[in-house]
Structure 1
């Protein structure tokens, strides 16, 4: 059964890639067939494996942030951030990274930011003579780093996955903060080195055209986003600073980002900040199906003890110092062909507590290894990030050349930077 579940997961990823059908549909079918006919579970027991908590959190948070997407507030924010860089064109890669990070950190999420920032970025590359590979890396890195923020889409998913394997909410918040910081520093260093190397180059040119100002609805949306982030972040931070304060501990235990997001969604609806149907349509239903579908299959593996078996094998057969690097490479290879949120994190996060216990390694380091590794190759044209960049390329761009540059230039750069970062992290933590 253990081998069958692993084969089903691998087959689901392969079929999803070949057929272009959401992987979640395949994993749900395999979960039903293996659970009911292989493990003797009742259909109702298999249905209960659907990760309701993760589903509700992603649904509620993305629903709220979609108001700022629907009324154009986030897109206009990106234009203003890029405009600020017009007098320093050599810093354009860092400006694109910053704009993508801020917008993704405000809750737009990785896929959404890439969907509307990648076309803008590649057009900027064409107009300003900037390398499309550097532009693609900048927007991809920014969307990933910003989405990893504790209250943004990826950060929330990471925290939920951690809590599903027994890590308490306060610790999961700290771990997700660590992931965000590391995935923010790596691209700043990589893009900073590129900027320094090309500091005397005059090849990049930015047009001096100021974007339009924010309208009233857009200002209200941005204000509500900042307010919600403040409410959600202030209590965990205060609890870290004052762990003995009972009032803060009580409030921290009751403040839930999913319910806060629903409240702010209702406020946004009452303020008529965007059309309700458009906001609901922007919910990433495909991502939800993929994450929850894979989660059902992984939950079957947990029932069989596959997580413990895999963790003990790694701890007993691989030198302890090599485990973080091996985990990073496994994540990177998986992410070349699949999604970090939909496949890599739901598959590998469950093994971390047992692996940390068996090897004595810090769980935070292992979580960071998984995400840093997965996101180092997320720009692959076979993965979601790279495919979106390929789809966003202008019509007159040589797609085959861009494909080769993404796969054989951007991915190796990302993986090398990830391994160097983990080597440094090993001496720090």
Structure 2
């Protein structure tokens, strides 16, 4: 009975957040308190301890450091330079948008930040070059998603935190996060290529004239920001990669045990402040507080679900009713349907990731395949006009007629195409591994 109440609470939190536009995490905290204290006999202290402190700290620290690149204009200027390089090859523009969005997101801007300043630019390029709105929209959305999934960027950090929180060793979580990034980087290239070379979009773009002015050179603050960002990426990636290459080396193992991306980002934030790379108040204000509250609030409610046995019950049901070969595909379908209306980071992955390890162990499935299938499925429909990606794209449209056209294209073409591509990928992944 309690498991059903917890599931109902999760669904209700998402529904209320969607209809009232109030942060889903706040509803989740309220339901966690009511169900935990008054339905399960837990103390208020037990409920507060369910706040995922490590995930909160890591996301806050990393986003604080990366926010300097947003505040001082580094990312915006980087986007301008990358797009300027493609002015002579307009038929490669979709790939340029995909790459630019991916690089900037991988450098820590995060999915929402990239869409916020790349979506208007992309739609403007669509008007100037004749590139279809659906192609431009999918390119910027796919690029922002893939880049944010990089192991040292926002989504990649969240995925690693959820996996380690579910009981997976840090080294295995790192490998799985790399697999998620690689998968979500391959799919966009295949889908965009199908549009360009099979859908006739490439022929239209070849005849386009792309005019772009050379952006100003990077100033001192922006150069130092780029240097610090690249240096932090190297430091964060070097230790776990060295451990994978030399698993028995005591020195490598010791160094890796002392590396924490949240603490490293905190040190780099201090360095950025000492070098005066940006205003401290603006940097703190740029931290995605709403996303943090949503992820951590839903995390508390998921902890209630785990405590009530809901996750184990769902995993047992899936294990008893779905053939092992179809489990990753089934997870992908569920994640895709959830993602039409809910956030991948705040709702879908926190709800589904805790089921993976017990289910994978009972059915002898590599958990990496299921983790990849969940993220691939969830992000396939994130371009739906009812989801965050699609709504940001629609909000970037200044023309009512173009907005109406884009709405139908996102709903009836982009989301279904993304869904089919994701399911085919998940099916191929299941058979190959």
| TM bracket (short chain) | over 0.9
CA distance in 2 between partners of 1:63 and 1:370 (Å): 28
Tell me whether 1:200 sits opposite 2:203 in the alignment: yes
- Contact conserved, 1:66 with 1:279, CA < 8 A, in 2? yes
The 5 Å alignment of 1:53-132 reads 53-132=54-133
- Contact conserved, 2:115 with 2:141, CA < 8 A, in 1? yes
Q: How many residues are treated as equivalent by the alignment? A: 429
User: C-alpha displacement at 1:209, in angstroms?
Assistant: 1.9
Query: 1:189 — aligned with what?
Result: 190
CA distance in 1 between partners of 2:381 and 2:412 (Å): 11
- Contact conserved, 1:311 with 1:358, CA < 8 A, in 2? no
Tell me whether 1:360 sits opposite 2:364 in the alignment: yes
Unaligned runs of 5+ in 2: none
- Contact conserved, 1:122 with 1:394, CA < 8 A, in 2? no
- 2:349 pairs, out of 336, 345, 348, with 345
Query: 2:41 — aligned with what?
Result: 40
Query: 1:393 — aligned with what?
Result: 397
Q: Which moved more, 1:271-280 or 1:355-364?
A: 355-364
Query: 1:151 — aligned with what?
Result: 152
TM-score normalised according to structure 1 size? 0.98
Query: 2:380 — aligned with what?
Result: 376
- Contact conserved, 1:123 with 1:394, CA < 8 A, in 2? no
Tell me whether 1:16 sits opposite 2:20 in the alignment: no
Tell me whether 1:286 sits opposite 2:287 in the alignment: no
TM-score normalised according to structure 2 size? 0.98
User: C-alpha displacement at 1:397, in angstroms?
Assistant: 4.1
CA offset digits 1:267-320 (Å, max 9, x no partner): 000000000000000000000000000000000111122111111110111122
CA distance in 1 between partners of 2:289 and 2:134 (Å): 30
Query: 2:268 — aligned with what?
Result: 264
CA distance in 2 between partners of 1:377 and 1:273 (Å): 37
The 5 Å alignment of 1:147-296 reads 147-197=148-198, 198=200, 199-201=202-204, 202-296=206-300
- 1:306 pairs, out of 291, 303, 310, with 310
CA distance in 1 between partners of 2:429 and 2:207 (Å): 35
CA distance in 1 between partners of 2:41 and 2:273 (Å): 46
CA distance in 2 between partners of 1:122 and 1:347 (Å): 34
User: C-alpha displacement at 1:402, in angstroms?
Assistant: 1.4
- Contact conserved, 1:221 with 1:268, CA < 8 A, in 2? yes
CA distance in 2 between partners of 1:331 and 1:136 (Å): 21
SS at 1:67's partner residue? Answer: helix
